[in-house]
Amino acid sequence: MKFSYVNPTQIHFGQGQIEAVTESIPSTSKVLLIYGGGSIKRNGVYDQVTAALSEHQWVEFSGVEPNPTRETMDKAVAIIKAQGIDYILAVGGGSVIDGSKFAAAAAKYDGDSWDIMTGAHQVTEALPLGCVLTLPATGSESNGAAVVTKAATKDKLAFITPVVQPKFAVMDPDVMKTLPERQLANGIVDAWVHICEQYLTSPAGAMVQDGYAEALLKNLRVLASQFDQRDNDQWRANLMWTANQALNGLIGAGVAQDWATHMIGHELTALYGVDHARSLAIVQPHLLRNQMKYKRGKLEQMGRNVFGLTGGDDLAEQTIVEIELFYHSLQVATQLTEHESDKAHAIDAVIGQLENHGLLELGENQSITLSESREILQMAV
Ligand code: NZQ
Ligand code: ZN
């Protein structure tokens, strides 16, 4: 095991913490407040944020859509450049935070902003960014990743660099009170798959990473089983903190990582508008079966340590069935048919996009070629 690890995002966790924005952004900064479709105006978060910014100079940009597009974020970049903005405050879920990371990097680049996503431009500088998280799911609030879509061509790509990692993240669980059930369920599933992408690989005897991943998975199982008690401070706080820890770099440090479920899922979202978390639930169980020869050891470990299974015929397959039941308990489907009726066409389209994006050898062993991706999707119909 070998790694370097730092997570420099300062976390302000707990009720009433939005006021920490005031001290977290230098008072001389000119701030662009970026948010989404307006949920923060309806639930009081906007008022709390603007109160915290009362001593700052600030302007706002709204309308970042779920699965943020470069088309929308380019408009934010134009404002940043025209008005001399030098700090971004993202207030929202993963989409707003990711879109803001893209804008922070694009603001320091004079070429075509999409170069950031294709890798044609290597990001070395960005505006400083802070965030107020309103939806626990992605971990974007304290990592350096961003996923952005080019609507014109339905390309949904990711970039990752420490340069865009938020300087601070406010996590006040009270903001979750207005989240629709669908988004809460999505958040649980997304965080769950983030853990799996870093845990369900080859056994490496990494006791800290494995043990912490298992603790987080068990938390999510408990929170899902208590879904009817979700209007509860403790439930909200535990979900918010668990989803954050799932993708802040710690459990993935020094171990193999997969991310193939995400790469295939992103194509489903870009082509058919499937919610991010729901795209993962469609792909992951079938991918685990397809990759059984690599994943059996960790699936068996997960079966014992997360689901309390004791053995029997095929422990790894039993574990996958438990994962499916976990998604179904949250009303999240694991088959493509429930989203897209012309399935043969959908599979061809996804494979075509994976090819266009050069995603030809996915997974921790680069063993998920286009033909494996096709088999996985065929199992998902
Ligand atoms: O736009 P608003 O009005 O804010 O409404 C949002 C949106 O409609 C709403 N919402 C958010 N907070 C709310 C609320 N509604 C009521 N009350 C609140 N407190 O929820 C809807 C979904 O928001 P979105 O930000 O799209 O959801 P999520 O946080 O799940 O983010 C998904 C995006 O993150 C990317 C995904 O690909 C997707 O584009 N990911 C980012 C990652 C990262 N940066 O590390 C990793 C993930 O794997 C993921 O790929
Ligand atoms: Zn995800």
**Ligand 2 mean position, distance from CA 56 (Å):** 34
The answer, yes or no, to whether any atom of ligand 1 lies below 6 A from the CB of 172, is no
Per-residue pLDDT, 343 = 79
Ligand 1 within 6 A of 135 CB? yes
> Is the four-CA dihedral 63, 67, 68, 70 of positive or negative sign?
negative
The predicted-structure confidence for 181-202, as pLDDT tens digits, reads as follows: 999 999 999 999 999 999 999 9
Cβ of 175 closer than 6 Å to ligand 1, yes or no, is yes
Q: What was the pLDDT predicted at 279?
A: 97
For residue 95, give the ligand 1 atom closest to its CA. 25
Tell me how far the alpha carbon of residue 129 lies from the centroid of ligand 1, in angstroms: 17
* Nearest partner of 233 among 9, 52, 13, 59, judged by Cα: 13
SS3 212: helix
Would you say residue 312 has pLDDT above 90?
A: no
> What is the band of 379 on the pLDDT scale with cuts at 50, 70, 90?
very high
> 339 falls in which pLDDT band (50, 70, 90)?
low
Q: Which two tokens stand for residue 258?
A: 């997969």
Which of 62, 72, 135 for a ligand 1 pocket mutation test, highest count of atoms within 8 Å of Cβ? 135
Whether 344 has a pLDDT exceeding 90, the answer reads no
- Ligand 1 atom nearest the C-alpha of 136 is 29
> How does residue 341 score in pLDDT terms, banded at 50, 70 and 90?
low
186 CB under 6 A from ligand 1?
yes
Averaged pLDDT for residues 158-171: 98
pLDDT above 90 as % of the chain: 96
Does 121 sit in the ligand 1 pocket, CB within 6 Å?
no
Can you name the residues that pair with 60 across neighbouring β-strands?
A: 33
Q: 345-353: long-range contacts at Cβ-Cβ below 8 A with a sequence spacing of 24 or more?
A: 346/268, 346/271, 346/272, 346/377, 347/374, 347/377, 347/378, 347/381, 349/267, 349/271, 350/264, 350/267, 350/268, 350/271, 350/377, 351/377, 353/154, 353/155, 353/267, 353/270, 353/271
Percentage above 70 pLDDT, the chain: 99
Looking from the CA of residue 36, the nearest atom of ligand 1 is: 1
From the CB of 98, is ligand 1 less than 6 Å away? yes
User: What's the CA angle centered on 337, arms 333 and 339, to 5 degrees?
Assistant: 70
Tell me, using a 6 A CB cutoff, whether residue 247 lines ligand 1. Answer: yes
DSSP-derived secondary structure for 90-103 = EEESHHHHHHHHHH
Q: Is the CB of 149 under 6 A from ligand 1?
A: no
- pLDDT value at 340 more than 80: no
d(CA 238, CA 216): 10
Coil, helix or strand for 324? helix
What is the pLDDT, as a whole number, of residue 27? 96
| Average pLDDT of the chain to the nearest whole number | 97
Higher pLDDT, 6 or 336: 6
pTM for this prediction: 0.97
Centroid of ligand 2 to alpha carbon of 138 (angstroms): 6
For residue 313, what pLDDT is reported? Answer: 86
Q: Residue 235 above 90 pLDDT?
A: yes
- Using a 6 Å cutoff on CB, does residue 92 contact ligand 1? yes
The 10s digit of each residue's pLDDT in 77-110 is: 999 999 999 999 999 999 999 999 999 999 999 9
- Ligand 1 atom with minimal separation from the 135 CA: 12
Task: Report the atom number in ligand 1 closest to the C-alpha of 64.
Answer: 1
pLDDT of residue 336: 86
Q: Which residue has the tokens 């913490």?
A: 17
